[in-house]
Structure 1
Amino acid sequence: MTGEGTSQQPKRPKHEHRATAAEWAAFLEARVTEELAAVDALAAYGWWELTEPGARRFGVQARGRVIAPVLTGSGHFADQATALHIVRNQPNRARGDLLAKLMLVNLLKAQLAEEGAPLAGPLRLVVQQLADPFIDHPDHPEYEAPEEP
């Protein structure tokens, strides 16, 4: 890695063809399944919370043990904001979000199975947007930004 930092998003891959709704659904389903496996492994730690202010080691704790010390080098406020972000995205909360994404994928697949299903297009756009955080994955289809209203 260069010293330029990591503030830039990965470049979007270039593909020869426009991805179908079924390809988008398959891509997101695969990524969500991978994320669920990681979430289930981390859920064994139990519910995550912040350590008490002024604790010897500041960070995220579970069952009274620090599982992720946080030291950003940018001061207490940045440390606390970072730790709070980690807690907000803990496995027990992330699991619900991932299951909702799978429900949307399944709804899109059901719409694709019906001839002339009116929700297939809008659901494809939602699935595309949910797949955006995985842009650096080698299987990511070409992203198509939704049209501005």
Structure 2
Amino acid sequence: MKPEYAEELIVGIINEGSFNWYILHNDICIMNLDINESAYRKKGYNFTIDEKYRFGIRVVNEKTKDDFLEKIKPYMISADELREMMSMESDPDELLSYNPSILIDFDKKTLLSYYPEYMSFEDFVPEGWTGKYQFFKDIIPERYRFWDNAKG
């Protein structure tokens, strides 16, 4: 799988002190479908979200994280793989797809979003979590910074 601007996102996840990159469809990254659905209803839409696309998990939190992380394992990608993919890109527009969009930290119960488009992932976090729109590339451990030393 390859990142695609605003569709297939590069997402960092921290769990039990371990860090991993994933390429996930943007809909999978809405952690609390109940809040998302409610926001649509407040705007007058008769809207029901089918959680099947997200493996039947309506709210991704500390209670459902193990199931969620198991289901997204096929989408895990290493920094080296991302670095190699990025180095093969020559089109500046394609390189935009390699900007990490979301950082989910299960240990600190935070979601940081730097998603460049209309969706505010930080507004749809589970109860007890903190969501922020914030640049976060500088807090990623150096060994996971695939954009460093990438050619392209």
Regarding TM over 0.5, the answer is no
Higher helix share: 1
Q: What TM-score does the superposition give when structure 2 sets the normalisation length?
A: 0.26
Point out the structure with max Rg over C-alpha: 1
Q: Which has the higher contact order (CA 8 A, sep 6+)?
A: 1
Q: What TM-score does the superposition give when structure 1 sets the normalisation length?
A: 0.27
